[in-house]
Amino acid sequence: MRDFNETLKNRVIFYFAVVFILFIILVLRLFWIQVINSAEYEHKALSQRVKEFVVDSERGIIYDNTGRKLAVSLPAKTVVALPDNVINPEKTASELAELLEISYSTIYRRITSDAAAIFLQRKIDNNLYQKINAKEIKGITFTEESKRYYPEGKLASHIIGFTGIDNNGLNGLELSYNNHLRGKAGKMIVEKDAEGETIPNGIRETVPGRDGYNVYLTIDEVIQYMAEKELKNAEDKFDFSGGSIIVMDSSNGDILAMANTPAFDPNQFGNYPEKNWRNRAINDVFEPGSTFKIITAASALEEGVITENDILTDPGHIYVGSEEISCWSRYGHGKQSFAEVVKNSCNPGFVEVGLKMDKEIFYSYIKAFGFGEQTGIRLPAEARGIIPEYDRIGSVELATFSFGHGLSVTPIQLATAISSVANGGKLMRPRLVKKVDTGNRSKNIINEPQVVRQVISKSTADKTKELLKQVVESGTGTQAAIEGYEIGGKTGTAKHYNEDVYDSSFIGIVSTDTRDLVVLTILYDIQGETYYGSQTAAPVFRNLTSNILNYLNIKPDTNHKKGYEINNQELEVPDVKGKSFLNAESDLRGKGFNVKLIGDGEIVREQLPSPGIKTNYNSTVWLFADGKSKNEILLAVPDFRGMTGMEAVKLARQKGLELVLDGSGKVIGQSVYPGKRIKSSKKINLKLR
């Protein structure tokens, strides 16, 4: 009995100890939950009865410069599945697979998942919404989202870009101005009961969002449409891979149109190959060809190494080192002024001019005009162009630069550079966005016109424009002429290496009473017999510009001023050797000559041409100081054949060359081949008969 009582007692003590330990554990657990970790459990409890909903913001509208809407946001339905409410997953998946064009297995997997709700397809069109809604499928509902819509379809698609399914910008201005356009999402917090119903007097809090800002462009929808239409028309006439057109207001850098082909519809961008999305006017480079001669001419005129009246010669080619550079004219243009070199688009003439500038000077002008760097237009993936490194440029490279070969530029770089010529030498930053409207006038973001730098003087810019007018009036650009309007411009044709494929272009300056417009047209990878810029790009320019002038209500002027006309007056070069540079320059300019000073000395030791030579009014006389000699300059040898002895001597002296005549009559042979570049001290023997 005693043993039994002892056993019972031990059992009671044991069970009491167990219960006590469990009680202590329970107390500790309660202390852990209610004191130490109370915040976490409070949050969990609150999250079960408090739901947070994201309230999407409205993406900003994109307008053209007249207030026309180019990009807007519209409400769109999204198909949502509630797996717990789906009655017949097999039948539901089968019906939706056909309507949504999604595989049966994918839909079945989604509607049988553990998720409370899952998106099946976002932002469907209204027709599809009506079809699905009419079926009243159990467990399938809809939520409303905002969908980006481009009312003009393909128009300006490369500029505007597009957004993804989440309404974030993926291309164009939609991407580069995404932070301004997308706004900031808000949220709503409501309290739910155990069955998920909103408690009428429960917690309710709203955190307001912010709609995206509206963006106003410089683009004119009508001019943009005209540009795209002309590219489309060109596709029907020529065999090329694509094209670009830029219309720019040179006075402020505003881009009025930027068109590219092939195009795409940003409402359905996924239906087009990615190459169609590329904005070739910004992202791609090409050899500018003869359009770059405008840069060479403006730089040389600014440096004073040439004037429009200087005499140059073209035997059909010129030699630089061992390389022969040919003219497009098989027999050359013979003796001509620089004004005629520009009008005739003569490669040897431009080579001669380019080499008159030393490498450092010419390279600095190329950079100053903005080539080799981004323009800052603020579009995605803007290319910098390809300008060879300074140390890798020799005389041959310098020569080819002069007529636009051996370097690559973007269309926007070329249009911006030529706009500086149209704008009195001021290089403007190209502008696509005028204003970002924040809804608060004092905080609106205004993109004011911005002058990057003064590249050349106004007088040089005006002279260059006059030279370009004669190109359109009577030179290689006559296909771009429009009766009654002052238009200057330049054609360009660049052959791809080792291929019979060309990039053809025309860039024109259209002068009006209030501003000068610059219009660039480029057709890439042209094949076939018709490929010159004068045959292809120039007519596109003419048709487009004619429509633009009519749209802007700019009337023709039948009395408009003609381009540069050559002054045929000849003057005798005075002897200024031994004079100070200051006095010599004053004397020469007073007599109607241009002057180029070479060297740092104060006294003129040599001059070119020599004293007593008769040459054109306003042609250049080179003056050399101590340490510099005219023999350091290589002079291109003309083709004297067919000239009389007197004609040959006069031309040689104007060029700074010396002749030795053998015989009488006309020149039938010469000791130095035409187009070779020699020192002025080297004598040329001519055979006359």
Under 8 Å between Cβ of 62 and 130 = no
Question: What string of H, E and C letters represents the secondary structure of 90-136?
Answer: HHHHHHHHHHHCCCHHHHHHHHCCCCCCEEEEEEECHHHHHHHHHHC
290 catalytically annotated = yes
Which stretches does DSSP call E strand in 479-587?
Answer: 486-495, 502-511, 516-526, 570-572
Distance CA 326, CA 317 (A): 4
Token pair listed for 565: 């006309």
Q: Which helix (H) or strand (E) holds 499?
A: none
* Residue tagged active-site, from 146, 176, 290, 505: 290
Question: How many residues make up the chain in this entry?
Answer: 689
Distance CA 157, CA 280 (A): 12
Reference 124, options 103, 145, 141, 110; nearest CA is 145
Reference 51, options 168, 205, 232, 233; nearest CA is 205
What is the DSSP secondary structure assignment for residue 589, as one 8-state letter? H
Q: What is the per-residue DSSP string for 24-84?
A: HHHHHHHHIIIIITHHHHHHHHHHHHEEEEEEPPPPPPEE-TTS-EEEEEEEEEEEEE-GG
Helices (H), 188-263: 221-237
Rounded to 5 degrees, φ, ψ at 621 are -110, 125
Helices (H), 527-680: 537-551, 581-590, 645-655
Q: Which helix (H) or strand (E) holds 454?
A: strand 451-454
Amino acid identity of residue 647, one-letter, is: E
**SS3 at position 314:** strand
Q: Which residues carry out catalysis?
A: 290
